[in-house]
Amino acid sequence: ITVSGKITDVQGSPLPSVSVIIEGTYEGVQSDFDGNYTLNATKGQTLMFSYIGMETQRVIVGDNPTINVTMADALSELEEVVVTGYSKQSTRNITGSVTIVKNENLEAVSPVSVEQSLQGQASGVLVGSEGGPGGSALVRIRGFGTVNNNDPLYLIDGTPTTSGINNLNPADIESVQILKDASSAAIYGFRAANGVIIITTKGGKYASKSKITFSGNTGVDFVSKSDFPEFLTPQEMADVIWTRFKNDGTDPSHPQFGNGAQPVLPTYLTPAGASTADESTYNALTNKITKANKEGTDWFDEYFNPALVQDYNLGMSGGTQTARFNIGLGVLQQDGVALETYFDRYTFRANSEFKASDKLRFGESFNLSYSERVSAGGNQNTGGDISFIYRADPILPVHDIAGNYAGTQSPGLGNGYNSVAAAKRNKDDVARTSRALGNVYAEMDLLKGLTFKSNIGLDYGTYHFSNFRGMNPEVSEPNSVNKLDETTWYNLSYTWFNTLSYSVSLDDHHIDALAGTEFFKHQTRTFNAARTDFFTEALDYRYLDAGTGTSTNYGYGGKRAYFSAFGKIDYNYADRYLLSFSIRRDATSRFAEDNRVGYFPSYSVAWRLSNEEFMKGLSFITDLKIKAGYGELGNESIPEGRVSNLYGNDINTSNYDIVGSNSSATAGYNLLSIGNQNLKWETTTTKNIGIDGILFDSKLNFSFEYYKSETVDMLLRSAGDITLIGHVTAPYDNLGSMENKGFDFSIGYNGTIGNELKFNASTNVSAYKNKVLTLTDNSDYFLNGNAARETYPSRTQAGHPLASFHGFIIDGIIQNEAELDAAADYLGKDVGTFKYRDVVEDGVINDDDRTYIGNPHPDFTYGINLNMEYKQFDFAVMFQGSQGNDIYNFTRFFTDYNSFPGAKSYRYKNSWTSSNPGATLPKLTNNPAQHYSSASTDYIEDGSYLRLKNIQFGYNFPKAVTSKLNIGSLRLFVQAKNLITWTNYSGLDPEINLQRYGGDDVNLDIGIDRGAYPVAKSILFGVNLTL
Amino acid sequence: CENKLDINPQGSLTEGVIEINETWVGQQLISAYAMLDGNPGYFWAPASNWTLGDVASDDFYKGTTISDQPPLNEIERYAPNTTNIYLIRKWQAIYEGIYRCNQTLNSISMAIENGVEESKLKPLGAEARFLRGHYHLEAKKIWNNIPYISETTVEAVPNDVDVWPNIEDDLKYAVDNLPDTQDDAGRPTSWVAKAYLAKAHMFQNDLDAAGPILDDVINNGPFSLVTNYHDNFNGEKDNNSESVFAVQNSVNDGGDGYINGNRGNRLNHPYAADAPGGGCCGFFQPSQNLVNAYKTDENGLPYLDTFNDEDVKSDQGVPSDQAFAPYEGTLDPRLDWTVGRRGIEYLGWGPMPGMRWVRDQANGGPYVAKKHEVLKSQEGTISAAGLPQYNAINTPLIRYSDVLLWRAEVHVENDQLPQAMELVNQVRRRAANPNGFVMNADGTPAANYFIKEYTEFPSKEYAEKAVRFERRLELASEGHRFFDLVRWGIAESVLNAYVSAEQDQRVYLKGATFVSGTNSYYPIPLEAINTSRGVLKQNPGY
């Protein structure tokens, strides 16, 4: 019979383009602009009505030829259709590993950045944050695949980017798809070796009523005082200094505490150690007077303060029969908990699509953003503001008697900065980033099932940073001159892809095929200029022209491009057997012509058991699928130009005053970097197997996957023989291999209790094990992470996980003469000093005895989500955690050792004495033994934590109220983020990730706390309003 | 689109665009000179060797606080790790210099193939070989067992082969092919090469070979002692007649202002904003032992054996606002050009105020160094404007007094004691010039200076002691002392005696022991061994 009808949404608006298919076949039609459809079907057949984002309806054809359908927004993910690779795919038919995070999951955490919103939400995705407002994030999908860049590829409405996602407003996001395995990501080729994060922004719907939404929240970020490290009081500090002298058998003396038998806390620090001073003679420059703070200054409390956060978003969407649009405006003003830090972001987005005809569509998506950021000086840097609050002696007040800054200019208190002063001076050092990111496309249906799409994407960003280094006369090593330093860069990339997609069904056979090409071009240029000697430090005067001293400048840039062709076939037999094959050919400008091209195939299969006859009896199974995949992906993320020998003039090291003039240098040229014509693709091969299931009437869903990947031909800077090439950068070569294996698991349950209480509980667990298999053919070769002062605690070497901790093993403290004789030798060895493990057993402790002492990678990470709805109330809670990762707590170099004068910990006070044999730190002394400053197990701590990431309580006003107010819906909520963290880590915050978030070798240094910006707690109130 | 993938490196030269001609060779050679200052090894690879040559000797302490740059404490205590950054950076800087020399030599061959006249390139090649000799000589005296890298070396070379013949070959080639004069003050002449060749012989204890070359340099060369001792350390008087070869430092040269400005010494300034260097960072403090060496007896001569029995009075433990009267005994005037001590005029910056200029007197003692500092009147001209840590005072590598005292050593060896004495006296005569003393603001000498010439070297033993003592007094803080002690074979006795005398004040020296053999040379950096894939072997004892 001929069946016809009208399809509408819950508001009664007609829904065009709904696909109507006779289930079990691939026969079907789409609804027209008025939501009408007509097709031929047999009685007893089932019609399936599906539309993106809406719950699929099934109606059995009976006697009535008119079947009208009302479609509701999708609640189940069963039928979801998502973008997975230049095309859309029903989630139930995905054979690869894809995690989908929907906008309601994103909204539930009120994130201010996209990456933050993924933390704890998606299995297989490790997210860590830089800390501080507007900071970067570390996103790692299934571990670390290479020593090079491990950042995933982000695709924002099809436009690729790998950085700066914090310019994007999470409120604009419709959904995020994470392609985790090679078989699903392979279509994106080499850029996808670290996984792909596909971000689809919100679009409008055809023939829909205009809708206006508003959401806003405001709250307070803070760090609890109970998280601050505890330090000795000034009196205790003075006492331990005296103990040091006494242990050494020398007479105590200190510029502030005198030279008596007992230390005396002075009344004044400047004049040094004075008990009296004539305060009327104060002069800021020539006669500074600073009082001692005998109670002790809590520098953490001075530096960290509650901060206001406001986030407002306005959305407008709607559509006619032939056009649809969605516009979003966002304002974020986030002050940082660290003094004077902030991030303000303004975003504008417009998505629209137009139907020129039945067969031709044009569309665009456009994001504009502008942000201002003031970050903490030197985050994760041993010379940064946060590191310096560990080094600030508590006896120092923040201000002198006249309200000017006090500092280490008062002698005997080290060479630290006054971090409060530094932050206040830094408050106008704003980094301004503007970004335009968008795409336009045309899509044409050529034949039935055959569609052509052409898409041009553009990503343009500019940055300007004005950094003024003012005079800091209060410190012991003051700047001799003030300086303005301005940096600006732009980068522009352009992506053009064309695809032809074809979809055909024949009986039980269904084929989707895609072929395409993509061209990408990128260029960047950086410019910096600086001048010294500014007459005044007033903000209005901070322009380069106003400086009268030395001028310096630098600039550099880069260009790169790639061209790719790709194809993909998905085959579905009777909704039971799913096969997928893709291949991509990538050619990159980073390699020489002969080695430029790489081919990256992938295969995957899935078997939907639940559709087999023998499973039909198991009615509790809604959907059950087992799947396996294999894929190869490339990586070329090394600096540009590594094919050729690069010569140049390095102003630092190439010039020489050959004429002996004292003030001119003749330019020299030398080899800077050795090239390698033979560089070729680094390849990661991944295999995975998994099972996805939906059980008990769609109430329970789970997914488990095991994967193993191996990267070969890893691009590495070779172990250049420093004797042969000195400082010249050694050539890159394809020299290493690395392995990752692990599993992702997630399980969720949707249920109801009684009629009114609906709940959803889910958890996910991810684990990976990383191991470097080879690094060059020289097994002694290793790559250092970044220095922590004079030590390199991270080392990457074959046989060990990436960026493992390396140093001496300390087996406690030498307790007595017998142990002293037994302990291996080193200079200064004594009763009360460390007992280092003699790893090579030669009786002497030297560098050969250093070994691997810790692993920054977690055993597993996990997230737990619980959402409930009861009548007008909703409640959400989320926990997120990491288990088994080590942290190298370098801040203890300052607080636990006789390093620089400054704040000391209670561990230090409880150092070893014969009556305190259980101490962890050696006997107090002014004369520390050899190796005391070396990397060792003493710095290693368990970094496991469990965090109450989010807890939210909301109230939806009932229809009765909203209709009176003439609004669609209104919800109020209160939320707390990061409220409680359970951890044994002694530092400020256990979320310690990279030291730097840009550059090529950032992954060689993981989990070292050099004074990291903590993740703030926050409490906020918000509103969601729909008109 | 694929042909759009041919993208050249941006901002760098590649071989295709470089024309190998005389200009390019000259520019490569400049870069080989540029490594003389040790950059990019920073203060870890100073040209002056204040680290490995002075702090490791009895002349200097590391200074500053105990915890600042602990790897340097290890060097001072004769217990360096094989990963010590001061050794890695020094090694790398030296071999970078050698690499650049070799690149220059290879470019010369290519330029000749390209038709450039060989005669135009020959002097440049001789300069490159001179520099290659210099760099290897530096490495040789620091590590002893080193590989020699030539322009044809492409693979790791073992370090168990005697490289002295190679070093001599380079220096001889330079002697034969360098001009006798050069327009640019920074370039070596054949006379400079001869002095280097003599130095190579001195370090092989082949004094017979050194003698005639030194005679040639002294009798026929262009060098002479300058009238005032301090002119050797005055940036405005760089490249005077006494400077045989020096690193040409420059500041305010259009670059970053400081990069070529004696970076190796950037940490070595008094710890006060009103001192040269602007307050950073209190490293490199003279030892009490060195100061004591400058005491003179009633004959105006040093106490060769007993100089350390009694200390020159210091202001240790005396705050700057408490009165202090300096030592009143007789002193060699060179002391106060070498050491900054309380109450003595410091290069126009006023009398050195004692504790206030010292970062941590309990750790580093009461003195500060002086030779590498600018006069107050040169602030911003000889020192970098706004960055006073950097200055343009040349770093002397060989001074003429160095040459004279080598020759004196040869004379002693050959029992020519009067001739040895005359050379020592020549050096002392200049030091004794009263116009060259440190003066108070009122024009009177800043201390009780009393220095006379030797009247007699009664024995060979005495002469040897006197010549060696004179070297110490004349050349202190110029990076030679440790290497001289090793060369003379007396490092163990001198340094262990020094440690046992100093360790009561400098507690961190407790337990330090110099072991002859092992500590005579530094460990080969582990990184060099690893990256050579085991071709390089570690020095004995490490």
State how far residue A993 is from chain B, nearest Cα, in angstroms. Answer: 26
The answer to whether residue B336 is domain-embedded is no
Q: How large is the average pLDDT for residues A725-742?
A: 93
On chain A, the residues whose CB falls within 8 A of the CB of B512 are 827
| Chain B closest-CA separation from residue A188 CA (Å) | 18
Look at residue B487 and tell me whether its pLDDT is greater than 70: yes
Q: For A648-683, b where at least 16 C-beta lie within 10 A, e where not — what string?
A: bbbbebbbbbbbbbbbbbbebbbbbbbbbeebbbbb
Task: Tell me whether residue B535 is exposed, middle or buried, using C-beta atoms within 10 angstroms of its C-beta: 0 to 12, 13 to 18, 19 or more.
Answer: middle
Domain of residue B48, CATH code: 1.25.40.390
Q: How far is A274 from chain B (nearest CA, A)?
A: 12
Question: Considering only CB atoms, which chain A residues are within 8 Å of B390?
Answer: none
Residue B281 counted as domain residue = no
Contact of A1023 with A975, CB cutoff 8 Å: no
Query: How confident is the prediction for chain A on average, in pLDDT?
Result: 90
Give the DSSP letter string of A767-786. Answer: EEEEEEEEESS-TT-EEE--
pLDDT for residue A966: 86
At B38-47, the pLDDT tens digits run 988 889 999 9
Q: How far is CA A118 from the centre of its chain?
A: 10
Residues in chain A within 8 Å Cβ distance of B388 = 480
Residue B265: name the closest of B481, B478, B522 by CA: B478
CA A660 to chain B, closest CA, distance in angstroms equals 5
| Residue A591: closest CA among A564, A562, A556 | A562
Is the pLDDT reported for residue A752 higher than 60? yes
- Closest listed residue to residue A711, CA positions, set A740, A731, A678, A744: A740
Taking contacts as CB-CB distances below 8 angstroms, the residues of chain B near A669 are 13, 24, 27-28, 30-31
- Minimum mean pLDDT range among A183-192, A347-356, A582-591: A183-192
Query: ipTM of the assembly?
Result: 0.96
Separation of alpha carbons A977 and A222, rounded Å = 10
Tell me the per-residue pLDDT of A288-334, one tens digit each, with 9 for 90 and over: 999 999 999 999 999 999 999 999 999 999 998 899 999 999 999 99
In the predicted structure, residue A77 carries a pLDDT above the cut 70: no
The answer, yes or no, to whether the previous bond of A271 is cis (omega within 30 of 0) is yes
Q: Domain A2-71 in CATH: superfamily?
A: Carboxypeptidase-like, regulatory domain (2.60.40.1120)
Per-residue model confidence (pLDDT) at position A263: 95
Contact A819, A807 (CB under 8 A): no
Tell me if A971 sits within 8 A of A1004, measured CB to CB.
no
SS (H, E, C) B228-250: CHHHHHCHHHCCCCCEEEEECCC
Percent of the residues in chain B that have a pLDDT greater than 70, as a whole number = 99
> How close, in Å, is residue A858 to chain B by CA atoms?
30
Cβ contact (<8 Å) for A552 and B83?
no
- Angle, helix B118-143 to helix B22-34, in steps of 10 degrees: 20
In a domain, B232, yes or no: no
**Which among A517, A665, A723 has CB closest to B149?**
A723
> Residues of B with CB below 8 A from A252's CB?
none
When pLDDT is cut at 50, 70 and 90, the band that residue A730 belongs to is very high
Apex A25 CA angle, A22 and A27, nearest 5: 65
User: What are the residue ranges of helices labelled H in B35-79?
Assistant: 70-76
Picking from A374-388, A478-492, B276-290, which range would have the lowest pLDDT averaged per residue?
A374-388
Does B64 reside within a domain?
A: yes
Pairwise pLDDT comparison (A377 vs A839), residue with the higher score? A839
Alpha-helical runs (H) found in A182-233: 182-185
What residues make up the domain containing B173? 17-177+510-542
Q: Cα separation of A932 and B67, whole Å?
A: 10
CA distances from A457 to A609, A782, B362, B446 (A): 41, 40, 66, 76
Inter-chain residue contact A723 with B511, CB threshold 8 Å = no
Yes or no, beta carbons of B99 and A272 under 8 Å apart = no
Residue B484, domain member (yes or no): no
Inter-chain residue contact B30 with A655, CB threshold 8 Å? yes
Contact A658 B186 (CB under 8 A): yes
Residue corresponding to tokens 């991509």: A584
**Residue B280, domain member (yes or no):** no
Q: What is the DSSP letter of A65?
A: S
Beta strands in A871-944 (DSSP E): 873-883, 886-889, 940-942
For position A78, what pLDDT does the model report? 45
* pLDDT greater at residue A88 or residue B339: B339
C-alpha–C-alpha distance, residues B269 and B259, integer Å: 17
Q: What's the total number of domains in chain B? A: 1
Average pLDDT rounded to a whole number, residues B289-314 = 97
Q: Binning pLDDT at 50, 70 and 90, where does residue B49 land?
A: very high
Determine the residue among A415, A485, A656 to mutate to test chain B binding: the one whose Cβ has the most chain B Cβ atoms within 10 Å.
A656
Query: How many A×B Cβ pairs under 8 Å?
Result: 311
Q: CB distance B528–A720 less than 8 Å? A: no
- Cβ-defined contact of B186 to A657 (cutoff 8 Å): yes
Closest residue, chain A, to B98 (C-alpha): A726
**A54/A71 Cα distance (integer angstroms):** 6
> Is B462 inside a domain boundary?
no
Disruptive mutation site among B77, B189, B260 for chain A (greatest number of A CBs within 10 Å) = B260
Statement: residue B424 has pLDDT above 50: yes
What is the structure's pLDDT at A76? 45
Q: Is the pLDDT of residue A250 over 80?
A: yes
pLDDT for A903: 92
Q: What is the pLDDT of residues B504-514, one digit of tens each?
A: 889 889 889 99
pLDDT at A79: 54
State the smallest CA–CA distance between residue A1002 and chain B in angstroms: 21
Distance CA B3, CA A684 (A): 27
Subunit contact B70:A655, Cβ cutoff 8 A: no
What is d(CA A920, CA A778) in angstroms, rounded to the nearest whole number?
A: 37
- Please tell me the distance from the alpha carbon of residue A700 to that of residue A696, in angstroms, as a whole number: 6
Taking the CA of residue A653 and the nearest CA in chain B, the distance in Å comes to 6
Q: Which band of pLDDT confidence, cut at 50, 70 and 90, is reported for residue A74?
A: low
- Does residue B100 fall inside a structural domain? yes
Residue A36 reports pLDDT greater than 60: yes
- What residues of B are in contact with residue A846 (Cβ under 8 Å)? 81-82, 542
Contact A663 B100 (CB under 8 A): no
Q: Band the pLDDT of B258: cuts 50, 70, 90.
A: low
DSSP string, A225-274: GGGSPPB--HHHHHHHHHHHHHHHTS---BTTTBSSSS----SEEESTTB
Q: What does the pLDDT read at residue A300?
A: 95
Residues of B whose CB is below 8 A from A587: 2, 5
pLDDT of A202 above 50: yes
Residues of B in contact with A721 (CB under 8 A): 156, 528, 531-533
Q: Residue B527: closest CA among chain A residues belongs to which residue? A: A722
pLDDT at residue A80, rounded to an integer:
65
So where are chain A's domains? Answer: 2-71
* Cis before B40 (ω within 30): yes
